Amino acid sequence: DMAEADDESFALQLILPEGGKTAPCCPHGPTLLFEKVSKRGERGRRFYACSACRDRKDCNFFQWEDEKVSEARLLAREVKNQSKRPLLSQEEYHTRFTTFISLPLDEKKFCQDCQILLLPGEREAHASHRSTDVSAAQLRRPSALLRPLDNKKSNAQYLFTDRSSHFLLDTLSALGYTKLLCVGTPRLQELIKLRNLEQKHKPMKSLLLDIDFRYAQFYSQDEFCHYNMFNHHFFGGEVGILQAFLTECDEEKVVMVADPPFGGLVKALANSFCLISRMWRKLQSSDGSNADMPMMWIFPYFFEPRILECLPSFSMLDYQVGYDNHPLYKHGKTGRKQSPVRLFTNISPKDIILPKEEGYRFCSVCERDVWCLNKHCAKCNVCPSKDGREWKHCSACQKCVKPSWRHCHSCGRCALPDHPCGLSQGKEGCFNCGSLQHKRKACIQSCVVYVYGDDGRNIDSS
Ligand code: SAH
Ligand code: ZN
Ligand code: ZN
Ligand code: ZN
Ligand code: ZN
């Protein structure tokens, strides 16, 4: 049973879709094909499961690859998929929004229980619900008005601090980007619009692609698409909107910033981002023929090997992305814990200047900005730290290791002082989950259902 995937006995591998074969659909669009791989490398039967939900409670779609599905079941499935569609089209939502804006201030209400803007005729139906007034300023900050989703397994929403949002926009703007494709980054989209109003910054265009349809209420058709980033699916078929956005006219330059849920499958995300890049490439006039679309993917540092495996042209920057509503991961040397979330990008690291006043410095050997505690190691010839702590060189291992590790002579490598000694002889364990039963390559992260546990601890608990 896939959701109860027990990583002790097998791992799940994602099989990317090949041309021609169409996957069955769940309410979240085309499903993904998985294959069980046992400890001894035996391959199991393949099955389709939901691309977006990691918990069967959220979507229980399951179908063997070779399964014959009856007409009745197909029909029931279709009915279910239809019933999960948003009630209104993007166009209709936008018409409502236009009406809403023109209402007098004391008639602008937002239903907190239903998470919708209410038009005058609808207030009665929501009379028993909690509703609030909505100011013009609040209308421009939907991410502050909407309640962040907090489903830990599938879709928890962690919003950037103002500091990190402005850093991202200032950096991209300084690099000459004029169009920002916001994939799962609603806060960047709204900040761009706010900054455009202020007229202090170079104007930027933006398009938000997000699975959270509540955002549809605040944007026009060319500003928001209901989209699933795990299977590159447009729920309303609006792929043309993305194509128009990716087309660069005159001095326009497009860049993507994505901040996926941290439990998300790296391979599926990388595949979607490659499809976006390919679409962008096809749309540009012939000159830059095989260039890649500039992208930033925001994800925890411990996924670095996994991301670079899928996207070798990317590198990880030291910048620590700050979140408002993630209690444990506010930015800072002095404040609370440091954030484990980093920027992965195919933009050259030497072009990205990290804020000195927050503790970043330039390493002239590596030719990139690094965190102050990330000291250059002459033996490794890199600034080695991944987690923001000062790493130290172990001459026996011939590499830099985490400060909490000690060289263990019976294991022949560095490890935590209280590691299960001798057990790990010759075994590396899974980088993602630490399991000794499989290597990182076999891990689909299904074993990482919670990248962050309820107590806020991440899987890299060292
Ligand atoms: N830091 C960002 C928010 C990141 S939270 C900001 O401040 O703007 C993750 C975002 O990805 C949320 O907006 C969520 O709705 C969206 N998301 C989650 N699953 C998704 C999926 N399968 N496809 C597209 N977007 C998704
Ligand atoms: Zn209501
Ligand atoms: Zn260096
Ligand atoms: Zn060592
Ligand atoms: Zn694993």
DSSP 304-370: HHHHHHH-TT-EE------BSS-TT----SSSSSPP-EEEEESS-GGG-PPPGGGTEEEETTTTEEE
Task: Kindly state whether residue 440 falls inside one of the protein's structural domains.
Answer: no
- Which ligand lies nearest to the CA atom of residue 113 in the structure? 2
Question: Is 189 in the same domain as 301?
Answer: yes
State how beta strands 205-210 and 224-228 pair. Answer: parallel
Would you state the pLDDT for residue 454?
28
DSSP percent split of the chain into helix, strand, coil, nearest 5: 25, 20, 50
Count of domains for the chain: 3
Pocket test for ligand 1, best of 59, 146, 157 (most atoms within 8 A of CB): 157
129 and 162 in a single domain? The answer is: no
Are 166 and 110 found together in one domain? no
The mean predicted confidence, pLDDT, of the chain is 87
Domain membership of residue 69 (yes or no) is: yes
C-alpha dihedral (131, 136, 142, 148), degrees to nearest 10? -40
Minimum mean pLDDT among 68-82, 255-269, 286-300: which range? Answer: 286-300
For residue 30, what are the domain limits?
A: 11-84
| Ligand number with the minimum distance to the CA of 412 | 4
* Judgement on whether residues 129 and 275 belong to the same structural domain of the protein: no
Least confident of 1-10, 93-102, 239-248, 287-296: 1-10
- 41 found inside a domain: yes
Residue 103 lies in a domain: yes
Instruction: Give the contacts of 54 (CB within 8 A, at least 6 positions apart).
Output: 3, 153, 154, 263, 446, 449
Spacing, Cα 383 to ligand 3 middle (Å): 4
Task: Write down the pLDDT at residue 338.
Answer: 79
Both 175 and 102 in a single domain? Answer: no
What is the pLDDT confidence band of residue 406, given thresholds at 50, 70 and 90? Answer: very high
The pLDDT, as a whole number, for residue 151 is 76
Residue 438: what are its φ and ψ, rounded to 5°? -150, 160
Lowest mean pLDDT, pick from 233-247, 255-269, 279-293:
279-293
Same domain, 195 and 129: no
Is there a domain that residue 406 lies in?
A: no
Write out pLDDT tens, residues 349-389: 999 999 999 999 999 999 999 999 999 999 999 999 999 99
- Highest mean pLDDT among 3-17, 93-107, 154-168 belongs to 93-107
Q: Which atom of ligand 1 is nearest to the CA of 187?
A: 8
Task: Tell whether 184 and 297 lie within a shared domain.
Answer: yes
Are residue 61 and residue 113 in the same domain, yes or no? no
The pLDDT of residue 222 is above 50:
yes
**427 pLDDT higher than 80:** no
Atom of ligand 1 at shortest range from CA of 165:
7
User: What is the average per-residue pLDDT within 282-296?
Assistant: 83
Report which residue type is found at 389. Answer: R
Q: Does 309 lie in the same domain as 203?
A: yes
Q: Whose CA is nearest to atom 20 of ligand 1?
A: 211
Ion ligand 2, residues whose Cβ is below 5 A away: 111, 113-114, 126, 129
The predicted structure's pLDDT at residue 4: 40
Q: How confident is the model at residue 274 (pLDDT cuts 50, 70, 90)?
A: very high
Residue 126, both tokens: 């929501």
Question: Do 163 and 217 have their domain in common?
Answer: yes
Domain boundary among 65, 84, 103: 84
Among the atoms of ligand 1, which is closest to the Cα of residue 186? 8
Tokens of 450: 């919670």
The closest ligand to the CA of 111 turns out to be 2
User: Which pLDDT score is estimated for 13?
Assistant: 87
Give me the half-sphere count of Cα atoms (radius 13 Å) on the Cβ side of residue 401: 17
Name 263's Cβ contacts closer than 8 Å, sequence gap at least 6.
Answer: 54, 153, 154, 445, 448, 449, 450, 451
Q: Tell me what pLDDT residue 325 has.
A: 75
Domain shared by 16 and 117, yes or no? no
The stretch 325-338 carries a mean pLDDT of: 59
What is the structure's pLDDT at 42? 78
Residues by chain with Cβ below 5 Å of ion ligand 5: 430, 432-433, 435, 443, 447
Residue 425 binned pLDDT confidence (cut-offs 50, 70, 90): very low
Q: Residue 456 region, left (φ>0) first, then alpha (ψ -120 to 50), else beta?
A: left
Pocket of ligand 1 (CB under 6 A): 52, 155, 157-160, 184-188, 210-212, 227-230, 259-261
Whether pLDDT at 286 is above 90: no
How many angstroms is it from 317 CA to the middle of ligand 3?
12
pLDDT category of residue 36 using cuts at 50, 70 and 90: confident
- Residue nearest ligand 1's atom 7 by CA: 159
Average pLDDT over residues 256-276: 95
Q: What is the mean pLDDT of residues 78-93?
A: 93
pLDDT tens-digit readout, 153-178: 667 899 999 999 999 999 999 999 99
Percent of the chain whose pLDDT exceeds 90: 71
Q: What protein residues have CB closer than 5 angstroms to ion ligand 3?
A: 363, 365-366, 376, 383
**Would the pLDDT of 227 be above 70?**
yes
Find the 399 Cα to ligand 1 centroid distance in Å.
Answer: 36
Residues with CB under 5 A from ligand 4 (ion): 394, 396-397, 407, 414
Å from CA of 416 to ligand 1 middle: 34
Task: Please tell me the total number of residues recorded for the chain in this structure.
Answer: 462
What separation in Å is there between the alpha carbon of 184 and the centre of ligand 1? 3
Q: Which atom of ligand 1 is nearest to the CA of 155?
A: 18
- Both 72 and 96 in one domain: the answer is no
* 400 CA to centre of ligand 3 in angstroms: 12
Structure confidence at residue 334 (pLDDT): 47
Averaged pLDDT, 143-157: 84
Would you say residue 370 lies in a domain?
no
- Choosing from 332, 352, 372, the residue where a domain stops is 352
Task: Give the residue, out of 210, 230, 256, 451, with the most ligand 1 atoms within 8 A of its beta carbon, to mutate for a pocket test.
Answer: 210
Of the three residues 337, 352, 367, the one that is the final residue of a domain is 352
At residue 297, the pLDDT reads 98
The sign one gets for the Cα dihedral 373, 376, 378, 380 is positive
Give yes or no for residue 461 having a pLDDT over 50.
no
Q: Per the domain annotation, does 176 fall within a domain?
A: yes
Atom of ligand 1 nearest to the CA of 321: 1
Residue 456 covered by a domain: no
